[in-house]
Chain A
Amino acid sequence: MEYFVQQLINGLTLGSIYGLIAIGYTMVYGIIGMINFAHGDVFMVGSFIGLLLFLMIGLTAATPLVVIILALIGVLIVAMALTAVWGWTIERLAYRPLRGSFRLAPLITAIGMSIVLTNLVQIAQGARVKNLPPDIKDRLAGGFTVLRGADGFDAVVSYRQLVIVGVTVTLMAFFTWLITSTSLGRAQRACEQDRTMAALTGVDVDRTISITFVIGAALAAVAGVMFLVYYGAIDFYIGFVAGIKAFTAAVLGGIGSLPGAMLGGLLIGLIEVFWAGYVGSEYKDVAAFSILALVLIFRPEGLLGRPEIEKV
């Protein structure tokens, strides 16, 4: 039982990170029907911005806990803002000029953008693994026991895991509210259904789409900072794997659906962890993708997606 609980905690944390990235894929797909392949790299950029901010603040092992928490919140907010600028710029430069073009054009610029971002960071920051300074890592370490086992095996939650799941749940709730209950959310849903009609009724389509990219990038930045704090080591290539997993999560949950992305993220995280925990670390990606294939065979629209109506 303790073993199961511990693996559950591991899976939920990993799944939360995937879910946060998956939201960016799903929102953009929902609104313009395009897969933003550069999104995984936006996550990586957010992570690097977070690292640079941490280094600028220069925390040490002696920094009091309150300052650490404030610094974490500060880094999170600034990283979100800066990464949002990146998201906005990418949309403005690479996608908006092609909006009236054929369907595959923005997909190809997205792949190009992904390569540009990866290489840009590789050149600017070097190809080596970058670490959160050990002092900060040690300061952020720690946790508590949630379930005490009889044979000396205790299920432990680290504070960082708690922060990650907490932040994810809060943001999830906030953005669900944003989409369902605000005028911005209404505009987004209107653009999703019919862009021309939305424009005719006075919705600023370009602005709405820009905001969608900005929100997606900000969430990717949160995931990036969480990833940095949780694992303590990042490199220019993390966007690729995380991006693929998150994209899979978005498809699994039903692309275009916000709760679907979150659910998909959690499922992918849990499948990976439980496969590694009960079967073996080898082939855990095969397990995750096999389940994706099975779901898509029986429910092509994904778990929470709506069946797509082909527009003629």
Chain B
Amino acid sequence: MKRLLALTTLAAGLAAPALAQEIPIATIGPMTGQYASFGAQMKAGAEMAVKDINAAGGVTVDGKKMPLKLTVGDDACDPKQAVAVATKVAGEKVKLVAGHFCSGSSIPASKVYAEEGVVQISPASTNPKLTDDRAGPNVFRVCGRDDQQGSVAGQYLATKFKDKKIAIVHDKSAYGKGLADETQKAMNAAGKKEELYEAYTAGEKDYTALVTKLKQAGIDVLYVGGYHTEAGLIVRQMRDQGMKTILVSGDALVTQEYWQITGNAGEGTLMTFSPDPRKNPAASGLVERFRAAKIEPEGYVLYTYAAIQAWKQAVEKANSLDNKKVIEQLNALEFDTVLGKFKFNGKGDPTLPPYTFYEWKGGQYAQL
């Protein structure tokens, strides 16, 4: 029965293009590779947004309702592949790219979109450079920035762990190093000096040597600028060597996969993330529908959804699919999305509430 239903939906989907002209949009992120769980979050959010918009007939332009057609692109968080995919979708004349995930991908790709005049709204890239060195007025993000995140984390570390030994490590990526440096700056400014600052290589499995070094230095609190796989392995290897060190990190840990890697070793891990959008009253119905579809709208699912929502509102206000007019509206309008109401400031950053701290406990993360 289910299959029959799926077939009819498919048939309906296939039949639709004959009726109205479709607007191509894309979401691009790491669909493969070790950050694929974030790619899956983006895909889930984008698919739900497109489904919801199309269920209501589509985007209204000039009195005509036009449905959306979603392309899912894979950059594997590799800057070179990101530029290649960006060029490809720009050639396909997509109107919106809800992506990318990794800052290291979003930044080089944004130059391609700026040249081609394609709207880019990143749901997750937090490196300040994306909007500080904005490639063009077409580049936006709906998430926070690492200097905000780092300043929240740095001040927290400096006050909460004033008498503890703190180490900072990062994975050399645009996101990881950027976040670690911002955190270090804020922490030092608040009068706390780290004992150790070191880089590690992402993609490895063995961090025992680094862990032993931390143990030797008697580190109580470890700040990691990096992604969940490495952070998870590091915290497990710390517990293996009998360390009770608290791991503190950023928004790259907001995936269930983190707990899958750490098991009980992840208990007590702290991380910064924006206030949980799932708790937003405007999102409650949507969250229910995600859960009914057996998708937990964790991490960046709702951010991707909101990126598409904001773009839709801009298109309808501009009453045109012309990129220039849409970009003008994006820079001016106030949007009503699942993340709440916000505007883009002059740089393309959203006016959303700041970062707060979360703690991992028993396989779940909860706001402190």
Interface residues of A (CB under 8 A from B): 3, 6-7, 10-11, 13-14, 122, 126-129, 131, 133-135, 137-138, 141, 143, 145, 151-154, 156, 158, 160, 227, 231-233, 235, 238, 241, 272-277, 280-282, 284-285
Contacts and interface: CB of A to CB of B under 8 A. Distances in A.
A231 B206 contact: yes
B241 A156 contact: yes
A284 B209 CA distance: 11
A129 B40 CA distance: 13
Contacts of B209: 7, 10-11, 272-277, 281, 284
Interface in B159-196: 172
A135 B205 contact: no
A145 B218 contact: no
Contacts, number: 110
Nearest to B262: A134
Interface string B204-233: 111111101101101000000000010011
Contacts of B265: 138, 141
Given A6-B212, A137-B236, A143-B240, A232 B198 contact: no
Contacts of A138: 263-265
B94 interface: no
B239 interface: yes
Contacts of A281: 198-201, 207, 209-210
A187 B37 CA distance: 50
Interface of B: 31-34, 36-37, 172, 198-201, 203-210, 212-213, 215-216, 218, 229, 232-233, 236, 239-242, 257, 259-265, 363
Nearest to A227: B205
Contacts of A227: 205
B213 A143 contact: no
Nearest to A130: B260
B235 to A, nearest CB: 11
A128 B261 contact: no
Contact of A3 (B204, B212, B240): B212
B212 A128 contact: no
A231 to B, nearest CB: 4
Contact of B208 (A13, A129, A133, A152): A13
Given A6-B216, A129-B36, 8 more contacts: A3-B216, A7-B212, A13-B208, A138-B265, A160-B240, A276-B210, A281-B200, A284-B209
A152 B31 CA distance: 44
A284 B31 CA distance: 30
Contacts of A160: 240
A135 B199 contact: no
Contacts of B229: 129, 233
B242 A134 contact: no
A280 B198 contact: yes
Contacts of B208: 10, 13-14, 273
A131 B205 contact: no
A235 B264 CA distance: 21
Contacts of A152: 218
Nearest to A272: B209
Given A128-B36, A131-B261, A134-B260, A282 B212 contact: no
B240 A233 contact: no
B263 A10 contact: no
Given A6-B215, A231-B233, A156 B242 contact: yes
Nearest to B74: A127
A43 B252 CA distance: 30
A130 to B, nearest CB: 9
A131 B228 CA distance: 13
Nearest to B210: A281
A49 B172 CA distance: 33
A12 to B, nearest CB: 11
Contacts of B31: 127
Given A128-B36, A153-B216, A134 B206 contact: no
B216 A232 contact: no
Contact of B242 (A135, A145, A282): A145
Nearest to A134: B263
B261 A232 contact: yes
B219 to A, nearest CB: 11
Contact of A276 (B33, B213, B239): B213
A122 B36 CA distance: 12
Contact of B257 (A10, A129, A276): A129
Nearest to B363: A134
Contacts of B212: 3, 6-7, 10, 277
Contacts of B262: 134
7 contacts: A156-B242, A227-B205, A233-B232, A233-B261, A277-B209, A280-B199, A281-B207
A133 B262 CA distance: 10
Nearest to B243: A156
The 5 closest A-B pairs by CB, nearest first: A134-B263, A276-B209, A127-B32, A10-B208, A231-B205
A128 B32 CA distance: 6
A158 B34 CA distance: 27
Nearest to B34: A129
A284 B206 CA distance: 12
A280 B210 CA distance: 8
A133 B363 CA distance: 12
Given A156-B241, A233-B233, A277 B263 contact: no
